[in-house]
Amino acid sequence: MRRSVVRPLVARALAALTVGASVLVATAAPAAAVVPKTPPLSTPWTSQVSTTNPLPEYPRPQMTRPDWQSLNGEWQFLNPATDSAGNVNRNAAPPIGQTLPERILVPYPVESALSGIMRNDNRDLMFYRRTFTVPAGWAGRRVQLHFGAVDYEATVWVNGTQVATHKGGYDRFEVDVTPQLNGGANEIVVRVYDPTDGRGEKQPIGKQTNNPSGIFYTPVSGIWQTVWLEPTPVSSIYSVDIYPNITDNTVRVRVFTRGNVSGHSVFAESMAGTTVVGTATGAFTDFTVPVPNARRWSPDDPYLYNLRVSLRTGAGATVDQVTSYFGMREIGTKLVDGVLRPTLNGEFVFQAGTLDQGYWPDGLYTAPTDAALQSDLQKHKDLGFNMVRKHIKVEPARWYYHADRLGLLVWQDIPSTPPFDANRTAAQIAEFETEAREIIDEHRFSPAVVTYVPFNEGWGEWNLADTQRVTRDLEAYDPTRLMNPHSGYNCCASKGDPGTGDIIDWHIYTGPDAPRPSATRVSILGEFGGLGLRTPGHEYSPDGQFFAYEQMSSAAQLNDRFTGMIRDSQRLMTSKGLSGFVYTEITDVEGEYNGLLTYDRQIQKVDTAQVRAALTELIRASRNQNAAVPLTLGHVRSFQVTTAGHTDRYLRHSDSFARTDVISGDSARQDASFRTVAGLADPRCHSFESVNFPGRYLRHASGRVRIDANTGGSFAADATWCGRPGLAAGGTSFESFNYPGSYLRHQSDLVHLAANDGSALFAADATWNVTNPALWRSSVLLPYDVRRSLQVTTWGFTDRYLRHADSLGWTEPVTAGSSTLLKADATFTLRHGLADPSCYTFESVNFPGQYLRHASSRIRLAANDGSALFAGDATFCARPGLGGTGVTFESINFPGSFLRHFDAQVSIASGAGTGFDRPMTLSADSSWTVANPWTP
């Protein structure tokens, strides 16, 4: 309901009949039993739907009162006939007092099987009718009639009197019906007009269309969220807005009221569970309530406080009381290591989510049960996502409650008007903006909602200037969230980049790729992926056609491709400043079969452990960007002593203990080089893995520092070090994660964990120069002066090997039956790197003295001309495969560029361009199996 009409509605009801304990379900008026139809696919919850008490849960958990009554269940239903021209009268007189011919199960939309109607024709005009009795225990209170959502234009009569008219299929409305009630059975009649994308209405419809096909779906008409009654005092609380402030540990509260509240005040109590932790009294403007030592809400710890709000008279008597909840969290943007990033509670965390269309094969817009409603959100958590984009649809209030308590960031789209049609009247534009503001009003409470998206791919966009104006207006309307003004402005019917808001958003299918962030906008990949896997017996398409952006042949290929995309996105995070992505999509929807789950939610197509591991690493890596001393994950570093007179020494391990030494020889250089990984106990810190003993980490034990394999227990904490600005000028100090105030410190030639004694000597001994490059650059050790072949690891191409032909690098299938020439071309001798002996140069077996080198990005075979340029071009440092398997070879003179195959050609690529340099599949394409040689 528009907040501006709250008091006028009450004023019209001054001639109130006062009526009045809690009953869950009203008696259904019609005698005949509604029978749901058979859906095209059944979900695990289809059979659990009650025809007498569907969706019985309290519908508004964000503001609760003890007494309420559900009007869900069986209603009478009528589709009036069209005239000879196919028209309907949207202002047709209501069938007051008449028995209607059909029965419908509310709140499932007319087109759904669960409604019992399941009709997608002639439903532009509909009438609903039922009766109800107000509980006697509600006497002395006013009765509010609530509609969660009705698509699109609803007019309501109670006992023959029109009480409300409402436009908008995605926002709730309510009306005080006390004056119209009598002492017995009361009649409700609802007229609904919903042409969807017909009759020129151009209303917000999202993905609905009268002719579903491809990426547009079956329409949804009529009542599709819970209808309910609620008794309130004559003077009462209408709504509560809550704005957390983590800086001063308070929440700002704003209370809206109904009735005469002259002389009244508001008393608010913040509560941890049932324990009151802060109180404040205010009026009907903003006031703050303390939340001491606030526990911050995040996807990792979605802690919710309760808020009890009481309306009091001037004498202090409580006349109304509601209970709400809130999460202490803050959304913003800031520069992190020189890149503008979105922040949660002041820290950058990569937002990894899916596109969630919110469609069900049995209930369409309406999930069959509350357990179903929360199931998709729980699946996001299980798979390792921390965000969900609710795509051009708005869900019931309970969906946001589940997101709040489970801990998922939500991007809320504003439902679009019909796409590919830019003609709009002033009234249609005004209605779109009004509905957008109402959607924002209804979600101010939610800690999960962090971003609003007014436009998508130009759908319903009428001109660029108004896109800019609308997004600025909405940003000002709720400045506590981020504004993504136009998701996928690079696509489809878009009028162009609006340049406004907090986010610059591309859609790339299949992707991934990313726009560059600007000084004012973070980089987001708003849609990508769309990998499709067919699941016979679990598919449904209204037109019999099926669609995906890229076809997968098996679950194994889908897993490999999808986790590769996640790893590619991690590279984009560092190479192009990407801060979040939205994968298309969590479930199949009608003709789209690109979901991670089937449309019926019966089959999960991807492996939970693999996807969760990839997403966990991506999110951990993003948190590492917040470290006080940034260290690039996966890169090798050495630690040089900074104490005067000893700067020729480096930290190394020897016989499992850490010490400092003057380094010489390959073995010692390897001992003194460590691969940087996200902290085993906290990804904001670091752990350091031995290069020559993979799986062993620098850790402290009984005061000494040593390298050991992970033994569990306290090992992760013992092996986690938090980089700090050097205690002495310059350099870096490493504080123990589990012993704050104690640092990695050398004393004589031994290395200890020691508490800071404040002395200048301690500061110098505990300050290290983190060298780049490390003393040993390769973090994967391969034998030298042996023959090997490099095998492709990209799915579907693992029969191919790197070979030279006509002086260029290629990949080609090689088998035991291949020619002697091909086998020799695909075999190389691993030599110490010409530019650095800790890396590798590949010498041709059949052309000794010629080496693989890059020139103009292309890999070529050429004789060594003795120049420094040639040596650099022919030297590659080995590191663990970016694709999660094998080995990746990084160019020594172009750090961040890797030996990569693309369309059979082999080049060096960073993933920052197009063609061979595109980011898509870079991780897999640049990962190689170092295999036994084809020519021994």
Quote the percentage of the chain above a pLDDT of 70. Answer: 96
Which residues touch 315 (CB under 8 Å, ≥6 apart)?
none
Beta pairing, strands 331-336 & 503-508: unpaired
Superfamily of domain 3-232: Galactose-binding domain-like (2.60.120.260)
86 close to 345: Cβ distance less than 8 angstroms:
no
When pLDDT is averaged across residues 635-656 and rounded to a whole number, the result is 95
CB count within 10 Å of CB 778 equals 26
| Tens of pLDDT, residues 480-518 | 999 999 999 999 989 999 999 999 999 999 989 999 999
Mean pLDDT of the chain: 93
- Residue written as token pair 């306290």: 714
- Would you place residue 150 in the very low, low, confident or very high pLDDT band (cuts 50, 70, 90)? very high
Residue of 319, 311, 407 whose CA lies nearest to 140? 319
| Tens of pLDDT, residues 779-824 | 999 999 999 999 999 989 999 999 999 999 999 999 999 999 999 9
Which residues touch 502 (CB under 8 Å, ≥6 apart)?
333, 342, 475, 482, 483, 484, 520, 521, 522
Q: What's the CATH code, domain 236-326? A: 2.60.40.10
* Residue 100: C-alpha distances to residues 129, 575, 816, 823 (Å): 7, 64, 78, 81
Half-sphere exposure (Cβ direction) of 210: Cα atoms closer than 13 Å: 13
pLDDT score of 7 more than 90: no
- Residue written as token pair 């590619």: 568
- Would you place residue 628 in the very low, low, confident or very high pLDDT band (cuts 50, 70, 90)? low
SS3 795: coil
654 close to 661: Cβ distance less than 8 angstroms:
yes
Residue of 392, 748, 315 whose CA lies nearest to 585? 392
CA distance 574 to 561: 21
DSSP 863-919: E----HHHHHHT-EEEEE-TTSSSEEEEESSSTT-EEEEETTEEEEE-SSSSGGG-S
| Tens of pLDDT, residues 260-283 | 999 999 999 999 999 999 999 998
Q: Which residues are 700's β-sheet partners?
A: 705
- Would you place residue 752 in the very low, low, confident or very high pLDDT band (cuts 50, 70, 90)? very high
Q: Which residues are 353's β-sheet partners?
A: 387, 582
When pLDDT is averaged across residues 879-896 and rounded to a whole number, the result is 93
pLDDT score of 308 more than 70: yes
CA distance 232 to 184: 19
919 close to 568: Cβ distance less than 8 angstroms:
yes
Q: Tokens for 129, please give them.
A: 């009718």
pLDDT score of 673 more than 70: yes
When pLDDT is averaged across residues 745-762 and rounded to a whole number, the result is 95
* Residue 308: C-alpha distances to residues 83, 268, 314, 404 (Å): 54, 6, 19, 18
Q: H/E element holding 466?
A: helix 464-477
DSSP 234-280: SSEEEEEEEEEETTTTEEEEEEEEES--TT-EEEEEEEETTEEEEEE
SS3 74: strand
Q: What is the CA radius of gyration of the chain?
A: 32
Predicted local confidence at residue 84, as pLDDT:
83
Handedness of CA 97, 101, 105, 108 (dihedral sign): negative
CA distance 601 to 382: 14
Quote the percentage of the chain above a pLDDT of 90. Answer: 86
Predicted local confidence at residue 32, as pLDDT:
64
Residue of 18, 184, 187, 30 whose CA lies nearest to 99? 30
pLDDT score of 11 more than 80: no
Domain positions in the chain are: 3-232, 236-326, 350-624, 636-771, 786-931
pLDDT score of 21 more than 50: no
Residue of 269, 385, 435, 249 whose CA lies nearest to 330? 249
pLDDT score of 13 more than 60: no
CA distance 110 to 100: 15
pLDDT score of 25 more than 80: no
The fold of 636-771 is Trefoil (Acidic Fibroblast Growth Factor, subunit A) (2.80.10)
Find the range with the poorest average confidence among 549-553, 585-589, 621-625, 699-703.
Answer: 621-625
pLDDT score of 31 more than 80: no
Predicted local confidence at residue 16, as pLDDT:
34
When pLDDT is averaged across residues 858-880 and rounded to a whole number, the result is 97
When pLDDT is averaged across residues 890-900 and rounded to a whole number, the result is 94
Q: Which residue has the higher pLDDT, 144 or 81?
A: 144
| Tens of pLDDT, residues 168-209 | 999 999 999 999 999 899 999 999 999 998 888 899 999 999
CA distance 296 to 112: 41
636-771 and 786-931: same fold? yes
pLDDT score of 312 more than 90: yes
CB count within 10 Å of CB 115 equals 30
193 close to 157: Cβ distance less than 8 angstroms:
no
DSSP, res 137: G
Handedness of CA 796, 800, 806, 808 (dihedral sign): positive
User: What count of residues does the chain have?
Assistant: 936
* Residue 225: C-alpha distances to residues 291, 365, 370 (Å): 34, 9, 12
CA distance 206 to 37: 25
Predicted local confidence at residue 480, as pLDDT:
96
Class of domain 350-624 as given by CATH: alpha beta
Find the range with the poorest average confidence among 410-419, 689-698, 727-736, 757-766.
Answer: 727-736
Residue of 365, 428, 421, 423 whose CA lies nearest to 396? 365
pLDDT score of 627 more than 80: no
In this prediction the pTM is 0.84
Q: Tokens for 348, please give them.
A: 């950058």
Q: Which residues are 771's β-sheet partners?
A: 638
| Tens of pLDDT, residues 328-365 | 999 999 998 889 999 999 999 999 999 999 999 999 99
The fold of 786-931 is Trefoil (Acidic Fibroblast Growth Factor, subunit A) (2.80.10)
